[in-house]
Amino acid sequence: MGQNRIRIDLLIHDLKVPLAVIEAGITSLLDRAEKYGPLTEKQEKVLKRALRNTKVTQNLVTDALELGRSEKGIMNLSSVRLSSCLGEALIELFDLNNSVVSEKIKACRSLNRLKETLQAEGLIIEIDDGLWSEQLTLDEGKIKQILRNLLSNALKFRKREVALRAYKEEGSLLVCIKDDGEGIPAKYHKKVFDCYFQMEPTDTCPVRGHGLGLAGVMVLLEDMGGEMILSSDEGRGAEFIVKIPLSGA
Ligand SMILES: Nc1ncnc2c1ncn2[C@@H]1O[C@H](COP(=O)(O)OP(=O)(O)OP(=O)(O)O)[C@@H](O)[C@H]1O
Ligand SMILES: [Mg+2]
């Protein structure tokens, strides 16, 4: 193992302690009203959101350490519904920049309600009821990470709308995420998957990330034996099509 890899793994490892302290602190405030005093409804909401995101970060730390342990990456398969994978990925995503929407998503009790709520945010969901509630054998953590990254890009680079379509085809789950932004010129179709590569920021999209999301998604897909196709042209939006083999199919 290279020195740099050890340095990074140690940094990730050392995040565990402060995260555990944050988790314990928030849990005490939520569960021990007799000691810390009662909470208003709004305070409880904020603390629950903070706790949810602390747990997401803790899971990411565990995933990162487990990934480092195995060269090829490891799979953590379980039986999950697309409704819970996508629902949770959306809540985590909106928790970051629009907590009002994430609360609305949490309150949705049906696919139709969720579709309406998201449509108001310019996110169109095309999934049929059957697939929405079907039990699929998948690595939930990896799927959520993929969805979060692709959706966060699409929402960041869109002009108005993003469409997410999911369907099953020949034993695989296909998820297509399409936006109506500036698109990606053909000369960058390979490069956007390189670590730290970013196209020049435009006036319409000056937001800077780290150029790591797509490279990470590729690694996760490789672990699952999946693939990703990019279909885009300058000025014509971008569509990322992800194909994930379903175990047991
Ligand atoms: N939907 C999209 N439309 C237009 N350009 C995109 C889209 N998705 C990715 N890109 C281009 O590919 C680059 C790399 O994307 P990637 O997700 O790896 O990094 P990022 O979003 O810039 O940062 P990070 O994901 O690390 O926060 C982006 O900076 C952008 O230039
Ligand atoms: Mg990104």
* Cα 33 to ligand 2 centroid, rounded to whole Å: 40
Rounded CA separation 201/187 (Å): 16
* Cα 146 to ligand 1 centroid, rounded to whole Å: 13
Collapsing DSSP to helix, strand or coil, 246 comes out as coil
What's the pLDDT at 95? 86
Q: Which token pair is 57?
A: 């970060």
**pLDDT digit of tens for each residue in the chain (249 aa)?**
577 778 888 888 899 999 999 999 999 999 999 999 999 999 999 999 999 999 999 988 887 887 766 666 678 899 999 999 999 999 988 988 788 999 999 999 999 999 999 999 999 999 999 999 999 999 998 999 999 999 999 999 999 999 999 999 999 999 999 999 999 999 999 999 998 899 987 766 666 778 889 998 999 999 899 999 999 988 899 999 999 999 764
153, 189, 191: residue to mutate for ligand 1 pocket, most atoms within 8 A of CB = 153
Pocket of ligand 1 (CB under 6 A): 153-154, 157, 179, 181-182, 184, 192, 197-199, 209-215, 238
What's the pLDDT at 41? 95
Index of the ligand 1 atom closest to the CA of residue 213: 25
Q: Which token pair is 241?
A: 């099509």
- Shortest-distance Cα residue to atom 19 of ligand 1: 211
Asked if 96 contacts 131 with a C-beta cutoff of 8 angstroms, the reply is no
Residue 126 neighbours by CB distance under 10 Å: 11
The per-type count for the chain, helices as H runs and strands as E runs, is 10, 7
The whole-model pTM stands at 0.87
Residue 179 neighbours by CB distance under 10 Å: 26
Index of the ligand 1 atom closest to the CA of residue 240: 1
Rounded CA separation 59/101 (Å): 23
- Shortest-distance Cα residue to atom 27 of ligand 1: 209
Q: Which token pair is 70?
A: 């195995």
* Cα 32 to ligand 1 centroid, rounded to whole Å: 43
The DSSP 8-state label assigned to residue 144 in this structure reads H
What's the pLDDT at 234? 87
Length of the chain: 249
